[in-house]
Chains A and B, each alone.
Chain A
Amino acid sequence: MRSLTVHLRILIALCMIIGVSVTAYQIYVLGIPVTAEETDNLWNIDAKVEFRANSREPVKLQMFVPPLNQDYVSLNESFISNNYGVSVNRSDDNRRVTWSARRASGKQTLYYRLVMTKRYSGEQAKAKGPIYRETLPIEGAEKIAAEALLAPIRQHSADVETFISEAIKRVNNTADDNVRLLLGGDNSSERKADVIDVLLSIAHVPMQRLHTIRLQADIAQSPELWLRSFNGEKWLYFNPQSGEQGLPNDRMIWWLGDEPLLNIEGGNQASVTFTLNNSEMNAIRLAQLSNENTDASFLDYSLYGLPLQTQQTYQVMIMIPLGVMVILILRNLGGLQTLGTFTPVLIALAFRETQLGFGIILFTIITTLGLSLRSYLEHLKLQMLPRLSVVLTFVVVLIAVISLFSHKLGLERGLSVALFPMVILTMTIERLSITWEERGGNHAFKVAIGTLFAASLAHYLMSISELAYFIFTFPGVLLIMVAFMLAMGRYRGYRLTELFRFKAFLKD
């Protein structure tokens, strides 16, 4: 007995641990949303390219598009262009689209559209980058100015990170003569980035330019220049204008490197305008969508991997253990008397189709009429099997009649009664009438009410959509339930009703 108890404890602990850790893994590591209402931002980015084509000349336009290997995942990407051939190629960390046409003339408009969202999974590819580079060639006054600037930067910095931010700070101090000389009167961030690049190269600190888009709806914007450097562990991001460190969450890298966004042959006056807007989308739906477009297959082996129709069945089925647990609690902890163990759960399932209030009314009517038929048959002294068959047939006829009447009366709800499981009803009637005979009408009534109560409660809990979503998405919860059920298997305490039943002991 002792070893059995230890065995059981281990089993309970095991179920609990596995259940909790699987669920926690899904929530915290895979980032699966906890409620169905949780929504994620869905970004719709349009890049509109306009240019004037030179007539009688082939047109070739190249544009960078987001590399999509970062924190964002594309749900849909399209290149909208008339009469243009499109090809996308990947080079280094960039992606580039090439539109080409043999002949075009006049004003041309091309669209690139990207629908994307933040990536769910937390797994990140390990960053790698250069940590050393050669000095850029500079000469004369510029060299002296650069070295003059570098001396205090070296003094004020401890590592790559502080070195770069100090360099940016210095370069942005336009009162400094050395800086002014290096900038040559151009205060744009491109120019500043060049100067910073020079400064860093003298110190052999690698630096890379990157161009970002701000994820903000309805503002006119052009790609913003940022700098980044690899410190051996991760990329450090800097804004060359403000010296701000770290890429804000709402930035998305469009392309890396020094090349311009657009590159056109056979055309002129090319320009790009970006339009962004965002919409919200059910998080799990979004996860499914993104799943199709990425290799992150964390939903493949969940119940969402099933065909949609099957999913709906399972969404009902997976709630049955919850209903059973409700009955278990009501019976073994509460001491509620019900007809059989699982009859209330089956009735609760039937309530799904009929709605609760209507279901209770139908259940009551059919059971009452069935009981009176049963007691009439009792007088005829029939054997059990023929009697059960008659009751079942009666129940079918009754259901048909109720459906017909309610249809004629325009109560469409009445039609749902057909889905009330007839065998369950028949068995309910049979058991109820046996209880009636054995234990008397009072007891039978008590049991019937208990059954209806348990069924209603089970139905209520089983139809909470948040709960259904949660259990369906995190089936590990079922193991936690099993752990609870196992523990209940050895519960020795009193049932709630026993506290009243044994009240007589308290009188003295």
Chain B
Amino acid sequence: MLGFGLIKTWRELSAKGIMGINRRNADYVLKYNKRSLYPLVDDKILTKERAIEAGINVPEMYGVISTEKEIEKLDKIIGDRTDFVIKPAMGAGGDGILVIADRFEDRYKTVSGKIISHEEIEYQISSILTGLYSLGGSRDRALIEYRVTPDPLFKSISYEGVPDIRVIVLMGYPIMAMLRLPTRQSGGKANLHQGAIGVGVDLATGITLQGTWLNNIINKHPDTSNLVAGVQLPDWDGFMRLASGCYELCGLGYIGVDMVLDQEKGPLILELNARPGLNIQIANNAGLTLRAHAVEHHIADLKRKGITESVEERMRFSQNLFASSLPQ
């Protein structure tokens, strides 16, 4: 009877338009994302440079270290800033990121309260340079940038770390969004497979929906026990505008855009992802395939009519079409 049950599951999933890895790869990633453009999103420094050119808000870049010799410049790059972030340019899954929250005499204090020395920071940078955290272990560069201070709103539903907002954008049309909240288990990281929570967000209003944690549906944050649903995200249209504009920024047709809400600077783009994960579907209780098909039809329509839509129009289109039907 197991086989029969699986067939039933299969039918139900495909009726809901749930996208599987094979479909994502064949129909979206391979079709819309040109391989030659990958370095733009894999290398956070390149992404940032492009974004600055395009006038899109990103966390300010303090400096780049690309050789062992340049590690000496660290002091100059940091200057007298008390907080900053060191990241591998081609890191994956949030590894190798060092967030310095404060200085303490000659030492540094990380965001989790650990005191580390200057040498340890230098070793971390050296590890980044040898490619310890990069995809495929190739040589990498270290990026030193502005430390984002999350909007206080998130404090209530989050457990340390910086929550971010992931929007899947197909050819410039946002099709699904989620708020990613770090947990104790994820160690302050916002990646779902490391144990962070994903909370679906209504594209039209920016109000949070249900949550997903380790493939299950949840309603409360496991660390804070706060309800995750029904929270209004501030400046939602700002996020949507930012995400929609990323198509022009990188040229990739199917991406996941990761953004944060900084206390002072508002929505900022953190990074782009050419192979966004699929658990966002659980958080939204909706399938990506149906939404992607709707956008593809719309694009084909426009093409026949010879119209190209602006960022604003694309954003409105998505917000009208994909407004959540979940009870609030």
Contact = CB atoms under 8 A, between A and B. Distances in A.
Interface of A: 1, 332, 335, 381, 383-385, 434, 437-440, 443, 489-496, 498-499, 501-508
Nearest to A381: B123
Contacts, number: 78
Interface stretch (B14-22, B50-58, B106-114, B161-169): B14-22
Interface string B26-68: 1100010000000000000000000000000000000000000
Nearest to B217: A504
Interface in B1-22: 6, 9-10, 12-14, 16, 18, 20-22
B6 A383 contact: no
A490 B22 CA distance: 8
B127 interface: yes
Contact of A439 (B16, B22, B194): B194
Contacts of A493: 10, 20, 22-23
B131 A384 contact: yes
Given A438-B92, A505-B16, A495 B22 contact: yes
Nearest to A496: B6
Interface of A is mostly: helix
A492 B13 contact: no
Contacts of B217: 504, 507
Contact of A384 (B9, B21, B23, B132): B132
B31 A502 contact: no
Given A381-B123, A498-B20, A502-B282, A491 B26 contact: yes
B127 A381 contact: yes
Interface of B: 6, 9-10, 12-14, 16, 18, 20-23, 26-27, 31, 92-93, 95, 123, 126-127, 130-132, 137, 193-194, 212, 215-217, 281-282, 285
A165 to B, nearest CB: 61
A493 B21 CA distance: 8
A440 B14 CA distance: 31
Contacts of A505: 12-13, 16, 18, 281-282, 285
A490 B26 contact: yes
Contacts of A499: 6, 9-10, 13
Contacts of B95: 437-438
8 tightest A-B CB contacts, nearest first:
A494-B20, A492-B23, A499-B9, A384-B130, A383-B130, A504-B217, A498-B20, A504-B282
Given A438-B93, A440-B194, 19 more contacts: A332-B22, A384-B131, A438-B92, A439-B93, A491-B26, A492-B23, A493-B22, A494-B10, A494-B20, A495-B21, A495-B22, A498-B13, A498-B20, A498-B21, A499-B13, A501-B215, A502-B215, A503-B215, A505-B13
Contacts of B215: 501-504
B70 to A, nearest CB: 16
Contacts of A492: 20, 22-23, 26-27
Contacts of B216: 504
Central interface residue in A437, A489, A501, by most chain B CB within 10 Å: A501
A496 B5 CA distance: 12
A502 B130 contact: no
A2 B129 CA distance: 44
Contacts of B92: 438
Nearest to A4: B31
A346 B317 CA distance: 50
Contacts of A384: 130-132, 137
Nearest to A499: B9
A418 to B, nearest CB: 28
Contacts of B193: 439, 443
A443 B194 CA distance: 10
Contacts of B212: 504
Nearest to B132: A384
Contacts of A504: 212, 215-217, 282
A19 to B, nearest CB: 24
A234 B131 CA distance: 79
Given A438-B92, A505-B285, A494 B22 contact: yes
A270 to B, nearest CB: 76
A1 to B, nearest CB: 7
B20 A385 contact: no
A381 B13 CA distance: 47
A494 B26 contact: no
Contacts of A508: 285
A7 to B, nearest CB: 15
A118 B22 CA distance: 52
Contacts of A438: 92-93, 95
Nearest to B131: A384
24 contacts: A335-B21, A385-B130, A437-B95, A438-B92, A439-B93, A439-B193, A439-B194, A491-B26, A492-B22, A494-B13, A494-B20, A495-B21, A498-B20, A499-B6, A499-B13, A502-B18, A502-B215, A503-B9, A503-B215, A504-B282, A505-B13, A505-B16, A506-B13, A507-B217
Contact of A495 (B20, B126, B131, B281): B20
A434 B132 CA distance: 9
A385 B215 CA distance: 37
A383 B126 contact: yes
Contacts of A502: 13, 18, 215, 281-282
Central interface residue in B20, B131, B132, B281, by most chain A CB within 10 Å: B20
Contacts of B18: 494, 502, 505
Central interface residue in A332, A434, A504, by most chain B CB within 10 Å: A504
A490 B23 CA distance: 8
Contacts of A506: 9, 12-13
A332 B215 CA distance: 20
Nearest to B8: A506
